[in-house]
Amino acid sequence: MSPSTERSVGVPWRSPVLVAILAATLMTPMDVPLISSALPEIQSVFGVSQSRAGLFITLYALPGILLAPVIGALADRIGRRYVLSGALAIFGLAGTAIAFTNEFAVALGLRVFQGFAAGSILAALAMTAVGDRYSGRQHDSVMGVTSAMLSLGTAAYPVIGGYLTSRAWNAPFLMYAFTLPVAALVLFAFDDGGTEPGSSDRGYVREALSLIPTRGALTLYSIMFVSFTLLFGGLYTALPFYLADAFGFTPTTVGLVTSTVLLVTAVVSTQNGKLAARASTTTLLTAGFALYALGFLGVALASTPPLLIGGLLVFGAGSGFVTPTLFARISVLAPDEVRGGVMSLQTTTIGISQAVGPALFTLFGGAIGYQGTILSGSVGAALGAAVLSILTVDF
């Protein structure tokens, strides 16, 4: 790879590699947001219980959590283009095949197989390529745009999936076919990356541990865990229950509200390059967690829908500060030869947050109600901002 120079600060929109990175990133939120609205129809069509239909989400996540570091290391050994294009092909073929089966066991098996190339793995590989190719302010700008593409897809796919499900239960799964031309684009647009093959796994792990700043990596991944726990537990779990109970919002309205929050995140993320040029990593993360706290506080205390929406938009802006900043800093923690393995750990971290966040917030919701739970989330985010403000780790 030949990374762009420090003097380059803009986003190279005409670059085929960047187009391939953004296209691959746009595919990644298809994993759950696209098909979550189809779960009731899956339950009905296959005649299974709600809990068995829910296995389309839970079992899908397991392979990615376990295999992400292995896949990242493989990308370091044989090159980004082959691993990312291959993962996109598996993701697309397995997902599309589900639309053509009439057996629940077969559909679930295909879904688990699809999880070997989970969307979060695709995102980690795409962001690894950003770290390989771009540097300095341009790196932060491109990472912001990449993160924005992730948020944009996450906002749009629930609406698209809901519309397609209203036509046929299996229609959303046909969307996975779009990943196949993207796999071809990655294969032909990327130049060779990764280190020379031949290192043993033990040698690779030792090399990675010797090259990365351990304290900085642990700090960044800890912040990522807390941030995504607030996101999955607060925004995706506690908030829908609270909106339905306190404001009488329908599921459609809740979906539109969530999509609006994510669109704000996408817009703010596109400014990451400019923000990173003016403020330190710690300052941006502190500001983001402060916005999380203010947003949750506004939601919990809101007495009218406009005030509620205002609080949620503040929360969305906080995510626009935190998420691309974390991705950008993690992508430059390690040199090219171990970057894929280091970046892939974000898949495992986010997967654990996805398991812990909903469980934690529903536990609090049952004990103190969802308004109190969201207030607790605000307090937790404020404590996070306070800790970040005195953090001395050099990123």
Instruction: State how far the Cα of 322 lies from the Cα of 41, in Å rounded to an integer.
Output: 36
Q: Mean pLDDT across the stretch 62-73?
A: 84
Q: Summarize pLDDT for 102-130 with one digit per residue, the tens.
A: 999 999 999 999 988 887 788 888 888 89
Work out the percent of the chain whose per-residue pLDDT is above 90. 43
Instruction: State how far the Cα of 243 lies from the Cα of 22, in Å rounded to an integer.
Output: 33
Work out the percent of the chain whose per-residue pLDDT is above 70. 92
Q: How confident is the model at residue 229 (pLDDT cuts 50, 70, 90)?
A: very high
Of 166, 59, 195, the C-alpha closest to 114 is 59
Question: Between 223 and 250, whose confidence is greater?
Answer: 223
Instruction: State how far the Cα of 121 lies from the Cα of 137, in Å rounded to an integer.
Output: 25
Q: What residue ranges in the chain does DSSP mark as E strands? A: none
Position 1 pLDDT exceeds 60: no
Of 24, 270, 8, the C-alpha closest to 139 is 8
Q: Which CATH number fits domain 16-193+202-389: 1.20.1250.20, 3.40.50.10860, 3.30.460.20, 3.40.50.620?
A: 1.20.1250.20
Domain ranges in the chain are: 16-193+202-389
